[in-house]
Structure 1
Amino acid sequence: MSYLPNILFALLLFSGISFFVWNIKKLSRNIGLGKNIERNDHKAERWSNMAKIALGQSKMVRRPIAGILHIIVYIGFLIINIEVLEIVIDGLFGTHRIFAFAGGLYDFLIGSFEILAFLVLISVIIFWIRRMILKIPRFWSKEMTSWPRNDALNILYFEIVLMGLFLLMNAADYALQQMGAIHYVQAGSFPVSQYIAAWLPENEMTLFYIERGAWWLHITGILIFLNYLYYSKHLHILLAFPNTFYANLEPEGKFDNLASVTKEVKLMMDPEADPYAVPEDGEENVEKFGASDVTDLNWVQLMNAYTCTECGRCTAECPANQTGKELSPRAIMMKTRDRLEEVGKFIEKKGEASFREEGDGKTLLDTISEAEIWACTSCNACVTECPVSIDPLSIIIDLRRFLVMEKSAAPQELNMMMTNIENNGAPWQYSQMDRLNWKDE
């Protein structure tokens, strides 16, 4: 008996998993570049959110057609890949359908996998039609350049190929079982692939090569898909769970107060305070207000950027975008992720210390324009609509804070309002003594 196939499979498996772990380490490092933020409170509510939103897909079904199709693909993807465990054991030890001893349960599982695979194929084809024939507008916005569009299509093609190979592998296996071929035990139920088997050649050796070829291509495709995730918007398959767990639980519209600003105000209001006092333990020395680059954002915001599915629901609901303004919440997340990747590559070459000290001559504000930042109405429509609890508004607010508090680069209308508040105690350009004159008119 030759052990060469088992050795080759072990090398393939080791290479695929090693590359995946390497990418996950890069991902973790990049997210870790963000500032620390405490998001471990109210754990019961956080677990509930993760179960409902990430696992239960509760926000997806707000758009029923896309939601139901997505649930089919999602469930199918999860459940069908249970058979990967059997493939791995068979590949390493040279067995075939190692779990066949389960009898009726095994037959039920294989039959269920086949039905799900068929439903996934139908759903993916409908998704393709929605993108390429119906051309739903949110899939063709200007930020959806060649790579984002092709990335979405690549995943659809991956799914078609993987499900097709799974059914072809089973069809050839079923035909070989019917012939009583050696090594092909009578096991499994094949409600879909038995019809494919009718179209296959009746030669045993040809069927063997078809079954083995489909088997190898299927597991290779799964490992390629696994490692493609890091470079794809479909990283949300993994990150949707922590992203929904660590999502902001505060009421939508409630902005956080910067501790640094609160401290400055208290110093101004306390004549006995020493502005040069040594900070208390655990209190950070603030270098800047707001954010100008990705390292000024917190780690949850950076995880948001990697979790973005690029579905465009946020942009489709954005009132500023609907009126033709420059703003697209989806583009904000895409640009943040792209900038973070750029910083990560710089760190790989020159180290994090070099980036912290010198930077690379670029910032997030080089790619996100002031027109985008100030077009936002802070309505939270994007936050409400996101199916995986991403918060583009928090990034916009932090960029605004930097422009206003560090660069004094607010729009003229806002500068006038703040000047009036400072001088007159009101946003309007008249004195406090005249504030009640309206009642005499």
Structure 2
Amino acid sequence: MIQIVQQLLFVAAIGLTGYLVTKRARFIYRNIQLGKKDIEVQGDKNKRLANMFRLAFGQQKMFDRPVVGIMHFAVYAGFLLINIEVLEIVIDGLTGQHRIFSNVIPSGVYHFLGSFFEVMALLVTVSCFIFLIRRNALRIPRFHMDEMKGWPYRDANYILYAEIILMTMLFSMNATDAVLQTLGNEHYPPVGTFAVSQLFVPIFAGLSETALVAIERTAWWVHILGIFAFAVYVTYSKHLHIFLAFPNTYFAKMEPKGQMSNMDSVTNEVKIMLGMPVDNTDAGESDEMPTFGAKDVQDLSWRNVMNAYSCTECGRCTSQCPANITGKKLSPRKVMMDVRDRAEEIGKNIDANGGTFQDDGKSLYGDFISKEELMACTSCNACAEACPINIDPLGIILDMRRYVAMEESGTPQEWNMVFQNIENNQAPWAFAASDRFKWGEELRTQEIKKTKTEEQDA
């Protein structure tokens, strides 16, 4: 009877986890679709797949800082591999069995896999302890900037604590299991001890069988329910990048980072000005006045919004930003966090109003990201180059600056003069196109005079 109750509770836990994860995943997907349809994803699919495996799975950019990269990879690989053991736990929970794979896998192989998973779990535990020290004791500056105060700072610590607790439960579960095997308990098949948990066996060796079963079952339930809770929590956390890193790197721009995306309407105006043929395939499709740039999340592309949800909040972009380094207000990490927060706000607004967005008097520009931040950007692409999963903060910044320049005419006076010169003279300088090469002639004349003077003096 107790076993049946446990199975029913386990099924209920899986069902609740699946429901909550699915509901949240649909919410995030809908929010990503708030962005405009992007241009068709170009580029060789094989190159995109290679990019995804190199950056998302292989974490190539993390190894720019080797020690941290190795530890991060250990945590990530441990997370993936230990989930293979979780598969056995799930099947055990559904069927009421214990270590069901030991019946179908040769004992030597089963023992090797169990020991391997425990070694990975130990690496995860050690790495998490080191990451906690780095974040909380060493006070690395990029982890303590203004945008990291409050929830973002706590979020990172919560995950590290959770990982340590889950791995501790795994070791406790296996150690008590090993002791129960020696007592001949029929529910615990003889699979032997594993590489790491055997070190904990002496702690439990003197306990009664009843106490051992209670500890083993408690550790088993805490471990698996903790993983279910993690699956739900991660959809609200910066650790969503564990999953979104893969589509984010696959759909990332394949063009050179310095290549900016031009607006078709502006490009056509320039072509007309230069007497070049214009593509009119889209002409007359809409009577609405075109808008320029991005004021809110709906004006960005879906890839921009996916970038925001994929952000790891590691701060490498901000630590490399020359504007931020020199004391400017701009932080590329904050830009990504603001886009995600605004998308969340809009999503909740839509849900609260029966699927329709009701104007809340707020926008991404102004309420989340200020003009001062946007104007501080040098467009150097250091942020995009530094990101481990190819997030592009500059694309968002440029779209928002286009709104400032073309919808508000709110750019600095020096910029406006350059814009006016480009419009009137097709060059940044205040000279007519017909006078464009006069400065060259003047330089050449001055050089000839200088040469003659030197020859006379000689």
Give the equivalent residue in structure 2 for 1:405: 406
Matched-pair contact (CA < 8 Å) for 2:43–2:254: no
**TM-score between both structures, scaled by the size of structure 2:** 0.90
Corresponding residue SS for 1:279: coil
Query: Deviations along 1:337-362, whole A, 9 cap, x unmatched?
Result: 00000000000011444x2xx53211
Q: Cα distance, 1:438 vs. partner?
A: 4.7
Matched residue, 1:359: 359
121 and 98 in structure 1: CA distance in 2 versus 1, 3 angstrom threshold:
same
Matching residue within 192, 202, 221 for 2:207: 202
Residues 33-60 of structure 1 show CA distances to partners (whole Å, capped at 9, x for unaligned) of 1111222531010000001000111111
**Counterparts in 2 of 1:227-306, with a 5 A limit?**
227-266=232-271, 279=283, 287-306=290-309
| Partner-residue secondary structure (3-state), 1:76 | helix
Contact 1:100–1:188 (CA under 8 A) maintained in structure 2: no
**In structure 2, how many angstroms separate the alpha carbons of the residues matched to 1:34 and 1:317?**
27
Match of 2:15 in 1: 14
Structure 1 residues 193, 274: closer, same or farther in 2, change over 3 A? closer
Classify 1:193/1:272 alpha carbon distance in 2 versus 1 (closer, same or farther; 3 Å).
closer
CA distance in 1, matches of 2:412, 2:402: 13
Q: Could you tell me which residue of structure 2 aligns to residue 167 of structure 1?
A: 171
Letter in 2 for 1:173: D
Give the equivalent residue in structure 2 for 1:54.
56
Q: Give distance in 1, aligned partners of 2:163 and 2:185.
A: 30
User: Distance in 2 between the 1:271 and 1:145 partners?
Assistant: 52
Residue 252 (structure 1) shift: 1.1
Contact preservation (8 Å) 2:114, 2:194: yes
SS at match of 2:139: coil
1:106/1:188 contact within 8 Å kept: no
* Partner Cα distance (2:355, 2:245) in 1: 27
Provide the rounded CA distance (Å) in 2 between the counterparts of 1:270 and 1:425.
13
Whole-angstrom CA distance in 2 between matches of 1:8 and 1:271: 71
For 2:428, the equivalent position in structure 1 comes to 427
Relative to structure 1, is the Cα distance of residues 274 and 251 closer, same or farther in structure 2, using a 3 angstrom cutoff?
closer
Q: State the distance in 2 between where 1:278 and 1:297 align.
A: 20
Deviates more, 1:431-440 or 1:396-405: 431-440
Deviation of 1:285 after TM superposition, in Å, equals 6.3
1:192 aligns with 2:196: yes
Question: Residue 77 of structure 1 corresponds to which residue in structure 2?
Answer: 79
Structure 2 match to 1:63: 65
Alignment of 1:50-199 (within 5 A): 50-101=52-103, 102=105, 103-199=107-203
User: Hey, what does 2:223 align to over in structure 1?
Assistant: 218
In 1, the alpha carbon distance for the partners of 2:337 and 2:411 equals 24
CA offset at residue 265 of structure 1? 3.9
On the 8 A contact 2:238/2:311 being kept in 1, the answer is yes
Question: How far did 1:187 drift?
Answer: 1.3
State the one-letter code of the partner of 1:36: K
Q: What is the distance in 1 between the residues matched to 2:34 and 2:287?
A: 16
List structure 1 segments (4+ residues) > 6 angstroms apart after TM superposition.
Answer: 269-275, 283-286
The residue type paired with residue 240 of structure 1 is A
CA distance in 2, matches of 1:112, 1:273: 63
Larger Rg: 2
Code of the residue aligned with 1:241 in structure 2: it is F
Paired residues for 1:383-394 under 5 Å:
383-394=384-395
For 1:32, the equivalent position in structure 2 comes to 33
Which residue identity does 1:312 align to in structure 2?
Answer: G
Alpha-carbon distance, 1:84 to partner: 1.1
Task: Name the CA shift for 1:217/1:273 in 2 (closer, same or farther; >3 Å).
Answer: closer
Q: Which amino acid aligns with 1:386?
A: C
Counterpart CA distance in 2 for 1:219 and 1:385 is 36
* Distance in 1, Cα, partners of 2:255 & 2:168: 45
**Which residue in the other structure is 2:450 paired with?**
none
CA distance in 2, matches of 1:331, 1:57: 23
Distance 1:402 1:19 in 2: 38
**Is the contact made by 2:304 and 2:392 (CA closer than 8 Å) also made in structure 1?**
yes
| Whole-angstrom CA distance in 1 between matches of 2:278 and 2:309 | 43
1:234 to partner: Cα distance: 0.3
- Alignment of 1:324 with 2:314, yes or no, is no
* Percentage of identical aligned residues: 50
Number of residue equivalences: 436
Q: Provide the rounded CA distance (Å) in 2 between the counterparts of 1:188 and 1:247.
A: 47
Separation in 1, partners of 2:130, 2:423: 58
| One-letter amino acid of the structure 1 residue matched with residue 202 of structure 2 | A
Q: 1:278 to 1:395 in 2, by over 3 A?
A: closer
Report SS of the residue matched to 1:59.
Answer: helix
Cα distance in 2 between the residues matched to 1:261 and 1:107: 66
Deviations 1:249-286 (A, max 9, x none): 000110111122223445566799999x98377x9966
Identify unmatched segments of 5+ residues in structure 1: none
1:374 aligns with 375
Q: Report the Cα offset of residue 188 of structure 1.
A: 5.0
Q: Unaligned regions of 5+ residues in structure 2, if any?
A: 447-458
**Cα distance in 2 for residues equivalent to 1:21 and 1:105:** 35
Whichever residue aligns with residue 60 of structure 2, its letter is S
User: Which one-letter code corresponds to 2:227 in the other structure?
Assistant: I
Distance 1:31 1:141 in 2: 27
Q: Deviations over 1:273-328 (max 9, x none)?
A: 999x98377x9966411110001111111000000000000000111111011111
Specify the alignment match of 1:417 in structure 2.
418
| CA deviation vs aligned residue, 1:105-133 (integer Å, no higher than 9, x gap) | 11111110111111111000000111111
